[in-house]
Amino acid sequence: MQYLPNILFLIALVLGVGFFIKNVRKLTRNINLGRDVDRSDNKPKRWRNMAKIALGQYKMVKRPISGVLHVIVYVGFIIINIEVLEIIIDGLFGTHRIFGFMGEFYDVLIGSFEILAFLVFVTVVIFWLRRNALHIKRFMSSDLIGWPKLDGNLILYFEMVLMGLFLVMNAADYQLQIMGASHYASVDGIVGSFPVSQFIAPVFEGMSEATLIVVERAAWWLHILGILVFLNYLYYSKHLHILLAFPNTYYANLKPQGQFTNTDAVTKEVMLMMDLDADPYAAPPEPEGEPEKFGASDVSDLNWVQLMNAYSCTECGRCTSECPANQTGKILSPRKIMMDTRDRLEEVGKNIDANGGTFQPDGKQLLDDYITKEELWACTTCNACVEACPISIDPLSIIMEMRRYMVMEESAAPSDLNNAMTNIENNGAPWPFNQMDRANWIDEA
């Protein structure tokens, strides 16, 4: 019976990590439903971008208030997680503060964890106020109605509770050490320093040792179980960005933002048409398999980086707040483009799971069922959304692929655009002017 807590802890750990691995597998499977795209070039530049943008939060702080607040939570999250390592070892072996042997250095560590935990708690409260009380436009948007709003708040509640439990655990531990409780007290005096939780500790004065141990153990267990639950919550949440921001910035487009891809399948056809040596009477080659679809009508027509973008999006709405169409009341929202892509991808993933590993057509697609044509046609391709994203997500590339599908597969462009395109085709300009008149301006001078 003596080892019961250790065994229970091991089971919890294996379940938590095991379930997480299962989710990561599902995540990579879904991302790989996308078309291939080569992003293996220029590795040094990619590492630098990841270091600067994801690790260094370079683009986050372009909006100073939310940026600095985010850096506090981010740094807190990373540093406090060092403590989780100790918690896991203590949990597995029944030790008490195994890293305590580090003496003063340990005191500094625990002290900084506590200060960071407190700062994170305060920042998260500010984040909650920004989302729920301060009427900030990008958090009031209709994009977030329902689960996205709840998701955003749940993450904040999770973090408040975890930081709270961490501090309560330390406070009870500190009090137990002062009382000289066996297993807690050390011959070397107080292990750790408690600059924040020492203010909570007086609450426990007068409690019996047994009660305090219950409080300490309860906080300890809830804290680590909470972390394991939170780890597994990520897959279902916008909070996945804490992991995916890194590969997302690594694999981001390195070319000038104005350079749109030249579709290879189209190039093949165009070159064939322009080839003067081609035999006009030759029988067309037998098509191999299904002809390639131009553009994207569903998630599997997008490339894997675009699908990873969708899972990485934390729905902050900086893209939408910079979008000229959105600012002037059009229904286009680049954030919604990313959220819709993820929702549809999840739906496709569940379909595959339910049908033994193959997708069964469900009569739905990303275009029309999630993203409407009106949204897609409102885009000015100005790249403001791409520029605004703190982790280099590219909503514009998805909009463009879907426009290509609408125009090349469905011939569904607005009639004004069809006129302009007919003009380009017939007389080399989007307006109905004669190409032979192109140089008339010279004589008009």
Partner 1 sequence: MSEQLKVPTMAEFMAQGKQPEVLFWVGCAGSFDDRAKKITKAFARILNKANVDFAVLGAEESCTGDPAKRAGNEFLFQMQAVTNIEVLNGYEVKKIVTACPHCFNTLKNEYPSLGGNYEVVHHTQFLKSLLEDGRLTVEGGKFKGKRITFHDPCYLGRANGVYEAPRDLLRKLDVELVEMRKCKAKGLCCGAGGAQMFKEPEPGHKDVNIERTEQALETKPDIIAAGCPFCNTMMTDGVKNKEKEDAIEVMDVAEMIAAAEDL
Q: For the range 252-259, what are the long-range contacts, defined as Cβ-Cβ under 8 Å and sequence gap of 24 or more?
A: 252/46, 252/49, 252/305, 252/392, 252/394, 253/305, 253/392, 253/394, 253/397, 254/41, 254/42, 254/45, 254/46, 254/49, 257/383, 257/386, 257/387, 258/383
The region of 50-58, 112-120, 243-251, 262-270 touching partner 1 under the rule CB under 8 A is: 262-270
Does position 61 interact with partner 1 (CB under 8 A)? The reply is no
Does position 417 interact with partner 1 (CB under 8 A)? The reply is yes
**Site of tokens 């780890």:** 231
**Chosen residue from 256, 280, 291, 361 binding partner 1 by CB under 8 A:** 256
Burial of 31 (0-12, 13-18, 19+ CB in 10 A): buried
Residues 362-401 that bind partner 1 (CB under 8 A): 374, 377-384, 386-387, 400
The region of 133-141, 260-268, 301-309, 357-365 touching partner 1 under the rule CB under 8 A is: 260-268
Residues in the chain: 445
Q: How far is the CB of 327 from partner 1 (least distance, A)?
A: 6
Cβ closest to partner 1, residue 23 vs residue 423:
423
Q: How far is the CB of 241 from partner 1 (least distance, A)?
A: 22
Q: How far is the CB of 346 from partner 1 (least distance, A)?
A: 26
Q: How far is the CB of 94 from partner 1 (least distance, A)?
A: 55
Asked if 367 and 298 touch (Cβ cutoff 8 Å), the reply is yes
**Chosen residue from 1, 187, 210, 274 binding partner 1 by CB under 8 A:** 274
**Site of tokens 């750790």:** 192
Residue 371, strand partner residues? 367
**Chosen residue from 327, 354, 355, 368 binding partner 1 by CB under 8 A:** 327
Q: How far is the CB of 388 from partner 1 (least distance, A)?
A: 8
Q: How far is the CB of 248 from partner 1 (least distance, A)?
A: 20
Does position 37 interact with partner 1 (CB under 8 A)? The reply is no
Does position 406 interact with partner 1 (CB under 8 A)? The reply is yes
**Chosen residue from 260, 278, 350, 355 binding partner 1 by CB under 8 A:** 260
User: What Å distances lie between residue 440 and 36, 420, 426, 445, CA to CA?
Assistant: 47, 21, 19, 9
Terminal Cα-to-Cα distance of the chain (whole angstroms): 99
d(CA 323, CA 331): 11
Cβ closest to partner 1, residue 228 vs residue 266:
266
d(CA 238, CA 245): 11
Give the CA angle between residues 351, 352, 356 to the nearest 5°: 120
Does position 215 interact with partner 1 (CB under 8 A)? The reply is no
Q: Count the site residues for partner 1 by CB under 8 A.
A: 69
Phi, psi dihedrals of residue 164, rounded to the nearest 5° = -60, -45
Q: Which positions from 275 to 304 touch partner 1 by CB under 8 A, shown as an x/- string?
A: -------------------xx---------
Does position 425 interact with partner 1 (CB under 8 A)? The reply is yes
**Site of tokens 């370079």:** 58
Q: Which residues bind partner 1 (CB under 8 A)?
A: 255-260, 262-263, 266-267, 269-271, 273-274, 294-295, 322, 324-325, 327-332, 374, 377-384, 386-387, 400, 402-408, 413-414, 416-417, 419-421, 424-425, 428-431, 433, 435-442, 444-445
